[in-house]
Structure 1
Amino acid sequence: MSAQSAFLTETASPAGQDLNAQALRADARRESLRLLALLAPSLFLVCAIIIVPIGWLFWLSLFDETGALSAANYARFFEQASYIRTFITTFEVAFIVTGACVLTGYPLAYMLSQLPRRAASICLIFVILPFWTSVLVRTYAWLVILQRKGLINSWLIDLGVISQPLSLANNFSGVVIGMTHILLPFLVLPLYASMKTIDTDCLRAGMNLGAGPAATFRQIFFPLSVPGLASGVVIVFVLCLGFFVTPALMGGGKVVMWAMRMEQTTSLYSNWGAGAALGVVLLVVTLALLGLFQWLLGARATGVWSSR
């Protein structure tokens, strides 16, 4: 019997199969250890800048002003109406600003995706250009534009459109306008990137099958752009929840958001436990909403494919 036949006979036996299985398991363990070694720096970084601070925030929220372990910081949220009102205002501003960014950003991203590459690159510079200026400077610029004697009111009065200046700053409308302008690029950029990856052959195929421009956009282009739109919506919505500078300046003290309340609690009253509890509540609610949003997107995608 040749050496090859002996080897096949040995590996075909139960003892040989056990040896092969052990060798495969050992190779799998070595491969897992190599991957873990490669991921170790990233895991350490994530643990250092995300897990540890969040854990410290949870731990700090469990202590009251006297340093005793208590749930008073969370009970205060349900007992005081000002906390609930601020919480509702925060999410109201976030939803409105996100919706305004979608309504203005989607047509802009669509226009950029249809332009030639050179023209689109030039137009993208104007989308990115606001990032070169501080948020504080842009907010003060909007105060100059929207105040009662600002540019917009002056132009409208000179044109005879209005007789009295409109109240556009130091209120809820001013906060929405300022935040929409600042956060709009965060929706346009991922949406534009998603639209540029859409295969134009799919659009031509739809038109060849008899679909008009509106039907092609509604049934082909828009569903394919939803991942980029969802990414932009999540980015804008999360940034809105933690925004501080623009609401503090554009709101004129009339619009108090959750980040402003946390700053007041920690800096004015030196109550770090209550401030940490506010951060924990915002984090939990935000994660719940993002989970719901992801579930709705998954249900929608399942419904679309099942209908097809």
Structure 2
Amino acid sequence: MTVGTAPAPRRRGRHGFGGGGWVLVLPLIAFLAVFFLYPLVQMARESMSGGFSTYESIMTSPVYRKVFWNTLTIAGATTAICLVLAYPYAYVMNRVSPRVRLALMAFVLLPFWASLLVRSFAWIALLQDSGLVNQALQGLGLTDEPLSLIRTTPGVLIGMVHIMLPYMVLPLYTAMARVDDRLLLAASSLGATPLRRFVRVFLPLTLPGLGAGCLLVFTISLGFYITPALLGAPSQAMLGEVIAEQVEQFGLSTASALGIVLLTGTLLVLVVVALFAKRIGRSSR
């Protein structure tokens, strides 16, 4: 009687691919090379068509410095407001029944079903002097005359927060859903007050989602164009608006240089956040 032997397992590559499995990645590499890397190289070459003089004029111009400041402050304010609104909303989503959670999730995802341009035009109708917002404020007796909400920073922030809020809610909800409730019960059994339990247990466990949401909202807000252009004033222009204006005026060298500056600034933000997260991870061990 012979005993059958199991066939030898097929050898795989170093990273788990079969003999030619790495070929599956080639379409993705080709796509990124054609539609991302090549345009980026061309943009860098165009920005250097006049040497470093274009970058020098950008860095020394008070107009561009104001544009950079507007971009950073509006992106930062949008991130902060989204965090203040999204954290309690995501917390409630994790504490309610599944049916109510589904409804709250639908409210979060509802803005994705409409075009960004349509939503921005809708805010123009809502925030104008005779719009629904001013009518409601005057009807409640909170204001005697219409507030100037169009072509102002508050109008830009309202529109951007409305668009960016889902990008903050979803990472926070995911992080909160992973928190083990038994840890909160253990903290309560050890005498921790609700506030102390939140600060010492719940909040640290949700920091990855908080960091991901803030990073996502801030980096996307840096390149915003449509909403600030429709709701903001020319004196409050952001970097995306200036780049689009330069392209329309065939200032391709300046537009390319501004694009490189925006990309470099975004990468610096990513590096700083990565180093900060790594430091926090080491300190928590």
Q: TM-score, normalised by structure 2?
A: 0.89
Shift of 1:39: 3.0
Verify the 8 A CA contact 1:170 1:250 in the aligned structure 2: yes
CA 1:27 to 1:47, structure 2 compared with 1: closer, same or farther past 3 Å? closer
Equivalences for 1:120-199 in 2 at 5 Å? 120-199=101-180
Aligned position for 1:36: 22
1:113-133 deviation digits (Å, cap 9, x = unpaired): 111222211210111011111
Verify the 8 A CA contact 1:171 1:254 in the aligned structure 2: no
Which of the pair is proportionally richer in helix?
A: 1
Aligned position for 1:104: 85
Give the Cα separation in 2 of the matches to 1:106 and 1:256.
Answer: 29
Aligned position for 2:260: 280
Shift of 1:170: 1.1
Aligned position for 1:55: 41
Q: Provide the aligned C-alpha RMSD in A.
A: 2.1
Structure 2 residues not aligned, in runs of 5+: 1-11
CA 1:300 to 1:28, structure 2 compared with 1: closer, same or farther past 3 Å? closer
1:172-221 deviation digits (Å, cap 9, x = unpaired): 11101110011101111121112112222222222222222222211111
Selected match of 1:91 from 31, 48, 72 = 72
Verify the 8 A CA contact 1:96 1:176 in the aligned structure 2: yes
Verify the 8 A CA contact 2:153 2:232 in the aligned structure 1: yes
Shift of 1:279: 0.4
Verify the 8 A CA contact 2:13 2:19 in the aligned structure 1: no
Verify the 8 A CA contact 2:152 2:233 in the aligned structure 1: yes
The percent of aligned pairs where both chains have the same amino acid is: 33
* Higher Cα radius of gyration: 1
Please say which of residues 168-177 and 206-215 is displaced more in the overlay.
206-215
Verify the 8 A CA contact 2:87 2:172 in the aligned structure 1: yes
Give the Cα separation in 1 of the matches to 2:13 and 2:225.
Answer: 52
May I ask how many residue pairs the two structures share in their alignment? 274
Verify the 8 A CA contact 1:170 1:254 in the aligned structure 2: no
Give the Cα separation in 2 of the matches to 1:28 and 1:298.
Answer: 27
CA 1:33 to 1:285, structure 2 compared with 1: closer, same or farther past 3 Å? farther
Q: For residue 274 of structure 1, what is the amino acid of its counterpart?
A: T
Give the Cα separation in 2 of the matches to 1:174 and 1:33.
Answer: 57
Structure 1 residues not aligned, in runs of 5+: 1-25, 65-69
